[in-house]
Amino acid sequence: MSDSSGAVLLSYETLVHAVAGAMGSVTAMTVFFPLDTARIRLQVDENRKSQSTPIILAEIAKEEGILSLYRGWFPVISSLCCSNFVYFYTFNTLKRVMVSDRSKPAKDLLMGFISGAVNVLLTTPMWVVNTRLKLQGAKFRNEELHQTHYKGIFDAFSQIIASEGVGTLWNGTLPSLVLVFNPAVQFMFYEAMKRRAARGGRKISSFEIFLIGAIAKAIATSATYPLQTVQAILRFGQYKSDGKGGLVGSLRNVVSLLLDRIKRHGLLGLYKGLEAKLLQTVLTAALMFVVYEKITAATFKLMGLQKKLKH
């Protein structure tokens, strides 16, 4: 590795962006975590009726206690922190390498795809474990779903590897790789709208950042939601597949799950839980971008650095 490429990879500015992105995501997810609880129950438990998000949350709180709305918070936050650190670090490293003058939507999309793929391959095992822990102790309407008994993150890792094999930790990788389209589109729209809002050297307000982040995430989430449902089911690990492994087996599982969902619940069944997902992911992404921008700006100002990354 040359000194220049090493400097780009280990750039202090890139590290600031990565830490700010991780902290922003942790803050935002903590605030809106109950909405994610409602979303994943609707995706995984087919027999639970798709009602409005407040009703779902009230049912869960009544049946399992108010704290159940935050069940699995630590593993989810841990995974999200690592995931967003990897994504923001990769994205901003690529930005320094690929963007010589001004960023363009096509480059933003490409950088988003690459960053998403790196993120998926490195962090999928953590997301598989946190999906299991988040649903542990849940009262399912679907009697075919059985309870798991993990004592924590490390115990979940060891039990899954011992009983299901290490490959299980990458369950849902194929839809996850397809779903890199989600953050890629999100960042493309976010960067494009932010550049437009900042034309002429105009300062962008926190409310505008919140709105831009919300719009970008709403577009990306609506476009990819059916695959997110498949991803959640595969990560939970109780889908009875045809037993074939490899890329072909994974592809068949994805197609089979999509077709089965349509057969049982119609085309709209692919979007079960979308309301909760949109509420959670749009508000979370919007708040995350506000915290991210504030942290990066404050850090650069405190350290007397200028933002060298092009917008």
Judge whether 21 lies within some domain.
Answer: yes
Which CATH number belongs to the domain containing residue 217 in this structure? 1.50.40.10
Given a cut of 90, is residue 52 above it in pLDDT? no
Tell me which residue range forms the domain holding 291. 3-303
68-85 tens-digit pLDDT: 999 889 888 999 999 999
Q: What is the pLDDT of residue 70?
A: 93
CB atoms within 10 A of CB 198: 13
With 0.85 as the threshold, say if the pTM is over it: no
Alpha helices by DSSP H, 10-104:
12-44, 53-64, 73-98
Judge whether 197 lies within some domain.
Answer: yes
Q: What is the pLDDT of residue 3?
A: 53
Alpha helices by DSSP H, 71-180:
73-98, 105-135, 153-164, 173-178
CB–CB of 187/119 below 8 Å? no
Poorest-pLDDT segment among 211-225, 230-244, 278-292: 230-244
Instruction: Please state, in angstroms and rounded to a whole number, the distance separating the CA atoms of residues 228 and 179.
Output: 7
CB–CB of 179/224 below 8 Å? yes
Instruction: Please state, in angstroms and rounded to a whole number, the distance separating the CA atoms of residues 285 and 211.
Output: 10
Highest mean pLDDT among 4-8, 75-79, 81-85, 250-254: 81-85
Instruction: Please state, in angstroms and rounded to a whole number, the distance separating the CA atoms of residues 180 and 212.
Output: 20
Under the banding of pLDDT at 50, 70 and 90, the label for residue 290 is very high
Q: What is the pLDDT of residue 247?
A: 55
Given a cut of 80, is residue 139 above it in pLDDT? no
Judge whether 250 lies within some domain.
Answer: yes
Mean pLDDT for the stretch of residues 95-122: 85
Instruction: Please state, in angstroms and rounded to a whole number, the distance separating the CA atoms of residues 123 and 111.
Output: 18
Of 247 and 186, the one with more pLDDT? 186
Instruction: Please state, in angstroms and rounded to a whole number, the distance separating the CA atoms of residues 46 and 245.
Output: 25
Instruction: Please state, in angstroms and rounded to a whole number, the distance separating the CA atoms of residues 197 and 200.
Output: 9
Under the banding of pLDDT at 50, 70 and 90, the label for residue 311 is very low
Instruction: Please state, in angstroms and rounded to a whole number, the distance separating the CA atoms of residues 89 and 17.
Output: 7
Instruction: Please state, in angstroms and rounded to a whole number, the distance separating the CA atoms of residues 70 and 29.
Output: 11
Q: What is the pLDDT of residue 117?
A: 93
Structural domains counted in the chain: 1
Instruction: Please state, in angstroms and rounded to a whole number, the distance separating the CA atoms of residues 79 and 136.
Output: 17
Judge whether 311 lies within some domain.
Answer: no
Average pLDDT, the chain: 83
Instruction: Please state, in angstroms and rounded to a whole number, the distance separating the CA atoms of residues 15 and 302.
Output: 15
Mean pLDDT for the stretch of residues 37-63: 82
CB–CB of 47/141 below 8 Å? yes
SS3 143: coil
- Cα dist from 195 to 143, 209, 299, whole Å: 51, 11, 21
Of 47 and 6, the one with more pLDDT? 47
Judge whether 310 lies within some domain.
Answer: no
Of 308 and 246, the one with more pLDDT? 246
Contacts of 36 (CB under 8 A, 6+ apart): 29, 76, 276, 280, 284
224-244 tens-digit pLDDT: 888 888 877 777 766 655 555
Q: What is the pLDDT of residue 5?
A: 52
Of all residues in the chain, the percent with pLDDT exceeding 90 is: 34
Nearest to 261 by CA among 250, 249, 246, 273: 273
Judge whether 22 lies within some domain.
Answer: yes
